[in-house]
A and B are shown apart, each in its own frame.
Chain A
Amino acid sequence: MAGILIFSDKTNLALELLTAANSISSSNGDIKAVTINNDEQAQALSEAGANVYRINAAELILADVSAVAAALGQAAAELGSDIILLSSNRRGKELAGRLAQVIGAGCLTDVNSLEAADGKTTCNRNALGGATVANQYLKADKQVIAIAPKSFTPAAGGSGSINDLSVEVKPSAVKLLEVKTKAGDSVDIEAAEVLVAVGQGLNSKDDLAMVEELAKLLGGEVACSKPVATDKKWLSEDRVIGLSGKICKPQLAIILGISGQVQFTVGIRDAKTIVSINTDENATINSLSDYVLTTDLHEAVKAMNAALK
């Protein structure tokens, strides 16, 4: 039986892939993990039960997708793995298509659940910008599947092994000149029970203060629609809800001045209770909400803060 190979640049995501691989391994064979220049990750994976194959080659840099895909292609061939699970973070998504092309595989990305049945590995992923969920499988011997972060819990406990694997490193046509770490706003909106999300209905950056106050009063975090982070740069991208942001499932989501386009709603539709406050009584978000208040968000937030204090 063909095997499963897992790889992610991020240890926490690699551990999630291990859980995903475990869930389909009975019909797909043994699981092997590859790490690239990351002994710590190799250790963590082996302690979670994986048989790890370490590629340690200083000239192989993660920023060179072409070289990483070539290395993983060799690893898959050598280790006899037909299904490769990657993480669907940006690094993993960029790699997925290239690796699939290297090994002649079919490929699905942004997969948020997996099921092995009747010799198929069926996957759910968002389609049409998030309007629908597509249930798909690959009819190909070789498959590359990139799994959305937090779709599986990280694997823990077990005893694996660490082995070394050497690959030929493809010459590089890219150079990494500089890495700029982003200023530390390490909020985890996916973990929050309460989210107060603001959109382009917010008048100014200064008005964020009262939104933050509301979030604090409710014991939650501030989140936002994408333009608030990418166009206006009022909040960090870590706080974006949606297709290209985070998929959140809080108990309570208060949505302020967000129209509710599918790419946003896909990230919040699993919330238990959704409140929409919007000046437009016909905003799309209203039909996806449990409570709808048609009014200016600034007035509403001030009134809520006063009432909750």
Chain B
Amino acid sequence: MNIVVAMKQIPDLQQIRIRNRQPLFDDVPLTLGTIDKNALEAAVVLKEADESIKVTVLSAGNEEVEDTIKEALAAGADEAFLILDDALEGADSAAIAAVLAAAIKQMDGVDLILFGEGSGDNYSGQVGSRVAELLNLPQVGYVSSMEIKGGQAVVTRTLEDCDEVMEIALPGIISVMAGLNEPRIPSVTQILKAGKKPKEVLELDEVDVDIKKLAFTETISNLAPESNRKKIVVKSVDELLQGLRSENLIGR
């Protein structure tokens, strides 16, 4: 059985600084989305229970993905399938989905494709659903548990007010919920071995997608909201309560 996990390279959000409301990306290390790591972990857990499972990590992005993706190979993916071009950095979800779908078509016998519920930086939750439509596959999103049985998966989709237990025919697409598992932290030996795992790297023109025609989203501005908090340091609970009372926030 072949499982593909789609993972996006993102800047480490913890390390983005804001100056004059502008996000600064200089020297911010690149990593993979947190929820995408949950998706990978879910695949690796399935693989541990069934040796015949092969896990391929799939990513589209700039040249640096080749290095960033080692994190996924070290954490248990067997191989990587990458489509690299600087034009893919920050490309529209529609373009990324088209590229990923085209790449999946080039792989043989894919049974299950896992996504995160949202990418770390954009968190728009579009790409998995778009790929599902492009490949005409069934999908279940917000999956908090899954089990493979024969030619299908039985999964739980967690909505705001209920859980849906679903059976989905394979091949199919599953997007996992944030926090459904605790992604493993690879050991040093695993990190060293990761560099030797097979990687298939395609250039953009090797998949037949005109990403310029799929540039739908125009960004006018992207700024941190203004914040002018008082930042009053108080020394005790009494002092705190006094402050809140003086503003009529408590004891009304």
Contact = CB atoms under 8 A, between A and B. Distances in A.
Interface of A: 63-66, 69, 89-91, 93-98, 100-102, 105-110, 122, 126-129, 131-140, 172-182, 218-219, 226-227, 230-231, 237-238, 243-244, 251-252, 261-262, 269, 273-275, 286-294, 300, 303-304, 307-308
B150 to A, nearest CB: 14
A109 B225 CA distance: 19
Interface string B125-165: 11111101110011111100000000000100111111111
Interface stretch (B81-89, B115-123, B195-203): B115-123
Nearest to A251: B249
Contacts of B122: 127
B219 A136 contact: yes
Contact of A106 (B92, B127, B241): B92
Contacts of A96: 125-126, 129
Nearest to A120: B218
Given A127-B122, A136-B219, A106 B94 contact: yes
Given A97-B97, A274-B229, A291-B243, A135 B138 contact: no
Contact of B132 (A66, A89, A91, A252): A66
A290 B215 CA distance: 42
Interface stretch (B39-47, B53-61, B70-78, B166-174): B166-174
A115 to B, nearest CB: 11
A106 B97 CA distance: 12
B159 A91 contact: yes
B158 to A, nearest CB: 8
Contact of A307 (B120, B224, B238): B238
A244 B124 CA distance: 11
Contact of A128 (B93, B121, B130): B121
A-B interface, 7 closest residue pairs, ranked by CB to CB distance from nearest = A106-B216, A97-B129, A97-B126, A173-B138, A101-B133, A94-B141, A98-B129
B159 A218 contact: no
A109 B157 CA distance: 19
A182 B18 contact: no
Given A94-B142, A132-B223, A179 B164 contact: yes
Given A97-B128, A98-B130, A173-B138, A138 B216 contact: yes
B218 A177 contact: no
Contact of A129 (B13, B130, B220): B13
B237 A174 contact: no
Given A129-B121, A227-B179, A304 B157 contact: no
Contacts of B121: 127-129
B217 A106 contact: yes
Contacts of A292: 231-234
A262 B241 contact: no
Interface in B203-238: 215-225, 227, 229-238
A303 B251 CA distance: 16
Nearest to A277: B240
A95 B229 CA distance: 38
A135 B220 contact: yes
Nearest to B125: A93
Contacts of B167: 174-175, 177
A94 B129 contact: yes
B37 to A, nearest CB: 15
Nearest to B142: A90
Interface string B164-192: 11111100100100110000000000000
Nearest to A271: B229
Given A94-B141, A269-B225, A275-B244, A181 B162 contact: yes
B16 A90 contact: no
B168 A136 contact: no
Given A101-B97, A292-B232, A129 B133 contact: no
A237 to B, nearest CB: 8
